[in-house]
Structure formats: C-alpha cells, structure tokens
C-alpha cells in the first residue's frame, strides 16, 4: 500500500517517549518493547488501542482504560487538564460516571478529545468535544445521550468518527449517524444536522449493515451481501462513482448513500481523509480518491483515481487480507500468508 507498513505485535515503552516531539528521551529500542503495565491490573490484557498525534488510549479485557501522552483539553479522561502535563506511563481513565458493571470496550482519539464505547452500548466523551458539549471542556468520560432506539433491545456495538460526524453500528446490524451533515456524511436525505439524537442511515432495508467507516467528510457502509455504499462530499472522487458532480442538485455532495459500482464480495472498508480503501475476498485491495502522497498505491503514481483501482502489493501471492486502515495520507494492509 502507499507508505507501506508491515506490522508486528509492536508496543512502545511510553516512559521513554515525548508525545510532543515524537522522540525518545533515550536512544530508541531496536526491537519491540512492551508498554508499561505499572498502573494496570497485573492479569489484564490490552484488547484495544486508539491513538492520535499527542495521546494514546489502551483498553484492557477487564473494561478499564488507560491514557498516556498530553493531557491538553482533558482528552486523556484522567481528570487532568493541563497543557504542560504529559503522562509518560499509561494512567487509569476515570470511571466515576460509568454505571455498575459497565466497562470500556473501544475508543476513538482525536486532537482534542477521546470517545469511548462501553459494554452497555453507551457513548462517553472527554476533552473539548463540540459535538456533545458546546461550551464546556470535560476532563473525565461523560455520557452522551444521543440514542433513541425504537427497539428497546438495540444497542451500539461499534463506532467510527470523522471530522464532525460519527457513525454507529448496532447489534441489529443497523447504522446510525450523529453530528454535522454539511457535507452529507450522515447518510440521510435531510441536510440537517443530528444534534439531539442519532439518525438512522438511509440504506436498503433488506440487507444488514456489517461495517461502517467515517472519513473526513464522507462515509462508507458495508452490507452483508458484500456491497458498499458511500455518502458525503466527493473530494477527488473518493466516493468511487467516477465523477465529481454526483448530487441531485449537480453538486458534489451525496446525502443518501449510493452503491459503489463493480464492488462485490467486499470484506472490509476504510475511509481516509479524502480517499477510500476497499478489500475483497479475492483477495484484492482497491483504492480511489486523492493520491497526492501516494496513499492509493497504484502504479507508482500520484494521480488520483476516480473509481476503485487495484493496488500494487508487495506481498506473497497466496494471502488473506486480515484488516485494512486509512489515515490522512497513507493506507495500511495487514495480510496473512496462507500455507
């Protein structure tokens, strides 16, 4: 992939890391080193990690969360809010607002905030999060009551955050969205924001939704039949429709998700800043959209791709795509070599 990275089970010793300069205080290790478990339950296993530029959050199998890095904006959720304070060892995230037997299961990290999902399907936020707290900055996880499900047994199982919108997937395999809809990222016919409760995304009723991914201003939805739908602002054709002007008004904003043509048997999707990555069962990896940094990994060029295009892959022939990822200017594929 563009800016290719081959991953091992690699963790960093954060006691030696400066989150502002991204440099080690001592000479960096030549081999992977283990994250400090000094403040963690001795038997706990890290099951989920999210990170942004200046902080990292670790979630363990006992439902606890630990943060390291800058405490600016209160984004670590540790009760600390100091622009000059760094946590060099993972520090417990405050759980005083959680219910009894409620624990963290996943998270997303951004420059000024962190969002947590719990085993009860509840959403919590900490830091400077304008979607949920218009005027106040919070330094411990605070519940966001944005779900109004008609089915009392429905709850959120995963989420994906874009610039000013969030996508949710429920146990009923339905997708909901919350936040700004200026660029159609919410995937609904109305161009109004979801500021009170999350919207149900306008997708075919006969197919369960199995995965969602939010980019900067666009959204992707993977259905159980292996098809992919996209909505949002078409920036350099990141929606995969072979056109920049796609909306009903002739503009480049698509409010109701449209199917991406010729994509079948899709197993994974990722929305980057202004590009899209799609993995199929072939296995093959396709990309489209902005390619200014080579993030599409197509034929050693920085030319944009207006339709999903097969990537150049330096992997063994017989492989299985395990997971893909996309950020602002790179794409990563984790593959398993099949014997």
pLDDT tens-digit readout, 111-149: 899 999 999 999 999 999 989 887 788 999 999 999 999
What pLDDT, on the 0 to 100 scale, is given for residue 313? 66
Residues 76, 115: Cα–Cα separation, whole Å: 10
Residue 314 pLDDT level (bands cut at 50, 70, 90): low
Q: DSSP 3-state assignment of 49?
A: strand
- Separation CA 72–CA 55 (nearest Å): 9
Percentage of the chain exceeding pLDDT 90 = 56
Mean pLDDT over the full length of the chain: 84
Cα 277 from Cα 106, distance rounded (Å):
22
pLDDT at 236: 72
Predicted pLDDT at 19: 38
Q: What is the pLDDT of residues 58-82, one digit of tens each?
A: 999 999 999 999 999 999 999 998 7
Element (H, E) at 24: strand 23-24
pLDDT greater than 90 at residue 194: yes
Percentage, residues of the chain above pLDDT 70 = 85
Among 47, 45, 43, 65, CA closest to 56: 65
The pLDDT of residue 134 is 72
* Of 8, 18, 108, 120, nearest in space to 65 by CA: 108
For the chain, what's the residue count?
339
Q: How confident is the model at residue 17 (pLDDT cuts 50, 70, 90)?
A: very low
Does residue 115 contact residue 129 with C-beta atoms inside 8 Å? yes
Q: Where are the domains of the chain?
A: 1-7+146-339, 35-144
191 confidence band (pLDDT: 50, 70, 90): confident
Of the two residues 243 and 118, the one the predictor is more confident about is: 118
37 against 11, higher pLDDT: 37
Q: Which residue has the higher pLDDT, 16 or 305?
A: 305
pLDDT > 60? residue 28:
no
Q: Does residue 176 or residue 32 have the better pLDDT? A: 176
Instruction: Decide if domain 1-7+146-339 falls under CATH 2.130.10.30.
Output: yes
pLDDT attached to residue 8: 32
Q: Which residue has the tokens 């969602």?
A: 212
- Of 244, 306, 295, 253, nearest to 270 (Cα)? 295
pLDDT band at 305 (very low <50, low <70, confident <90, very high): confident
Give the DSSP letter string of 209-258. Answer: EEEEEE-SSEEEEEETTS-EEEEEE-STTTTSSS-S--STTSSSEEEEEE
CA distances from 221 to 107, 167, 208, 256, 322 (A): 19, 9, 10, 12, 18
pLDDT digits (tens, 9 = 90+) for 33-56: 778 888 888 888 999 999 988 999
pLDDT score recorded for residue 43: 87
Residues 55/113, Cβ–Cβ less than 8 Å: no
């Amino acid at each position: 992939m563009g800016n290719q990275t081959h991953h091992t089970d690699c963790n960093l010793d954060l006691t030696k890391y400066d989150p502002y300069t991204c440099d080690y205080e001592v000479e960096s290790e030549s081999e992977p080193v283990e994250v400090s478990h000094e403040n963690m339950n001795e038997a706990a296993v890290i099951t989920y990690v999210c990170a942004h530029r200046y902080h990292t959050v670790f979630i363990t199998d006992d439902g606890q969360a630990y943060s390291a890095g800058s405490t600016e904006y209160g984004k670590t959720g540790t009760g600390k809010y100091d622009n000059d304070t760094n946590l060099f060892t993972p520090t417990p995230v405050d759980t005083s607002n959680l219910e009894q037997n409620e624990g963290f299961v996943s998270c997303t990290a951004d420059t000024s905030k962190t969002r947590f999902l719990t085993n009860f399907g509840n959403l919590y936020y900490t830091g400077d999060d304008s979607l949920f707290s218009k005027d106040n900055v919070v330094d411990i996880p605070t519940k966001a009551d944005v779900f109004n499900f008609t089915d009392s047994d429905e709850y959120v199982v995963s989420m994906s955050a874009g610039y000013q919108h969030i996508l949710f997937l429920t146990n009923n395999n339905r997708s909901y969205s919350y936040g700004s809809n200026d660029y159609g990222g919410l995937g609904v016919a109305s161009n109004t924001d979801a500021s009170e409760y999350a919207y149900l995304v306008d997708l075919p009723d006969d197919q369960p939704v199995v995965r969602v991914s939010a980019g900067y201003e666009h959204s992707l939805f993977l259905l159980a039949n292996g098809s992919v739908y996209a909505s949002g602002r078409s920036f350099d054709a990141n929606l995969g429709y072979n056109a920049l002007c796609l909306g009903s008004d002739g503009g480049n904003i698509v409010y109701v998700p449209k199917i991406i043509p010729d994509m079948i048997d899709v197993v994974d999707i990722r929305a980057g800043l202004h590009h899209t990555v799609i993995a199929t069962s072939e296995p093959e990896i396709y990309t489209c959209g902005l390619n200014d940094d080579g993030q599409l990994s197509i034929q050693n060029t920085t030319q944009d791709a207006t339709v999903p295009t097969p990537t150049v892959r330096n992997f063994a022939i017989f492989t299985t795509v395990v997971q893909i990822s996309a950020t602002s200017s790179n794409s990563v594929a984790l593959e398993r070599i099949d014997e």
